[in-house]
Structure 1
Amino acid sequence: MTGKNNSKSEPVMRFQGLMGAIVTVGVTDTGEYGVWYWHCNGCIDSHDDTNMDRLRDSANEHAATCRALPPEHAAA
């Protein structure tokens, strides 16, 4: 897990995992170009990258294989 940015932006896109968890993609406003990140609200995994296309593909791949439940169902 590499997503260590503390200043997150508004979400740019979202992907739904196999069991309903949401993988959110956004970009920080730090630096000249910003750093793209994704965060899964089910398994709490995250990743960041300076390349939006590569990061979007990574987020989509994670959503396609993640079996975590969304937080509202995980504790039930």
Structure 2
Amino acid sequence: VSLLIEHGANVNFIGPYNNSPIIYAIKENSLPIVKILVEHGAMINHINEEFNTPIHFAVQHNALDIANYLIEKGA
């Protein structure tokens, strides 16, 4: 992910269902990837088409370490 970002990947790319990369990192329960995305400006309060935010996904996927991290970052 870091390499992609270094080469211009958009950390806030909006894909299907209005989801951004941070949502997919949360679905994989990958705190390291979430941290990289946030450090590079990922929108931690983005709302998808189902009106869910990254913190909603973290709780739904039982990724409490990610939920706590997002809260620390202002989500």
> After TM superposition, is the score higher than 0.5?
no
TM-score, structure 2 normalization: 0.24
Name the structure where helix makes up a greater proportion of residues.
Answer: 2
Larger radius of gyration: 1
The one of the two structures with greater contact order (alpha-carbon pairs below 8 A, sep at least 6) is: 1
TM-score, structure 1 normalization: 0.23
